[in-house]
């Protein structure tokens, strides 16, 4: 069975002290729950990574970005090697906020993907269309091109280290969730697109997460869909009660 994942994306929230408190609570509650089928990940700001990794023994830790370059004179950047050295297993790449606010193109993402894989990080790779694309009926084409241009140059062994997160941009932080039918339709399309490139077995083994205003109330319905393997959770990952409710929804399905 492919891996089910609930991953939190804290974005630029929580001071170091607040982040440690939240991570401690999530870790301890996940440890008590002892999920059998669900990998729990917290995606923290860079500054939190080392400390959160020290306390995390029931959850995995992810960065939210990494540099395109390996090392050197790139003021303000954080390399994939540094992230790995803090104890992280994952990095989120291609988040729509990075694509739209920081101009991350497919070409930039190809470099980041390479740096992450070279340093042993598995990648949560985000794809998703903006509202205008959906309204124009172009959402499948957009997502297909993000997969093709960002990932499909990888060989099969490297691709096996990718978790895909479908995040319709119009649903991120807006409180407007995709319906479970819309989510399933896109997840099935993503799986079929992966099958076209890497074969059915690889596609069946790929974890595909839904992200976009997923919360304690709608998680159960979203996770009931056969191709929705879990969630990438923004706002609702900042409160332990809400995040745990989503983890429980995944675990109990």
Nearest-angstrom CA–CA distance, 111 and 154? 12
Question: Which CB sits closer to ligand PEP, 184 or 242?
Answer: 242
Instruction: Mark whether 139 is an active-site residue.
Output: no
Question: Of 173 and 199, which CB lies nearer to ligand PEP in the complex structure?
Answer: 173
Q: With binding defined as CB under 6 A, does residue 42 bind ligand PEP? A: no
Mention every residue, 6+ apart, whose C-beta is less than 8 A from residue 74.
Answer: 67
CA distances from 18 to 70, 138, 200, 240, 247 (A): 30, 41, 43, 12, 21
212 is a site residue for ligand PEP (CB under 6 A): yes
- Is the CB of 78 or the CB of 126 nearer to ligand PEP? 126
Q: Out of 51, 104, 167, 184, which one is annotated catalytic?
A: 167
Cα–Cα distance, 24 to 30 (Å, whole number): 10
Which residue of 214, 219, 247, 249 would you call a contact of ligand PEP, by CB under 6 A?
Answer: 214
Query: In the complex, what is the shortest distance from the CB of residue 237 to ligand PEP, in angstroms, rounded to a whole number?
Result: 7
Closest CA to 123 of 225, 58, 43: 43
Cross-strand bridge partners of residue 93: 125
Q: Is 121 in the site for ligand PEP (CB under 6 A)?
A: no
Tell me if 182 contacts ligand PEP by CB under 6 A: no
The reply to whether 228 sits near ligand PEP by the rule CB under 6 A is: no
* Cβ at position 214, least distance to ligand PEP in Å: 6
Residue 229 as a binder of ligand PEP (CB under 6 A): the answer is no
Count Cβ atoms below 10 Å from residue 187 Cβ, excluding itself. 22
Catalytic residue at 167? Answer: yes
Beta bridge partners of 166: 127, 210
Q: What are the residue numbers of the active site?
A: 95, 167
């Amino acid at each position: 069975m492919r891996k089910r994942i609930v991953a939190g994306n804290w974005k630029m929230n929580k001071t170091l002290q607040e982040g440690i408190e939240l991570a401690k609570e999530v870790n301890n509650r996940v440890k008590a729950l002892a999920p059998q089928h669900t990998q729990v990940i917290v995606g923290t700001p860079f500054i939190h990574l080392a400390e959160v990794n020290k306390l995390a023994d029931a959850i995995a830790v992810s960065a939210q970005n990494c540099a395109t370059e390996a090392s050197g004179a790139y003021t303000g950047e954080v390399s994939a090697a540094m992230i790995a050295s803090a104890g992280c297993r994952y990095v989120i790449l291609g988040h729509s906020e990075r694509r739209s606010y920081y101009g991350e193109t497919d070409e930039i993402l190809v470099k980041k993907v390479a740096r992450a894989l070279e340093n042993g990080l598995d990648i949560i790779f985000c794809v998703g269309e903006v509202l205008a694309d959906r309204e124009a009926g172009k959402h499948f084409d957009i997502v297909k091109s993000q997969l093709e241009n960002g990932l499909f140059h990888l060989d099969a062994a490297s691709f096996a280290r990718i978790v895909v997160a479908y995040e319709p941009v119009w649903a991120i932080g807006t409180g407007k969730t995709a319906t479970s039918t819309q989510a399933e339709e896109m997840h099935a399309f993503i799986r079929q697109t992966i099958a076209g490139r890497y074969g059915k077995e690889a596609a069946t083994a790929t974890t595909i997460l839904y992200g976009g205003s997923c919360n304690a109330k709608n998680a159960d319905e979203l996770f009931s869909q056969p191709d929705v393997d879990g969630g990438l959770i923004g706002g609702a990952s900042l409160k332990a009660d809400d995040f745990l409710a989503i983890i429980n929804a995944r675990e109990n399905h």
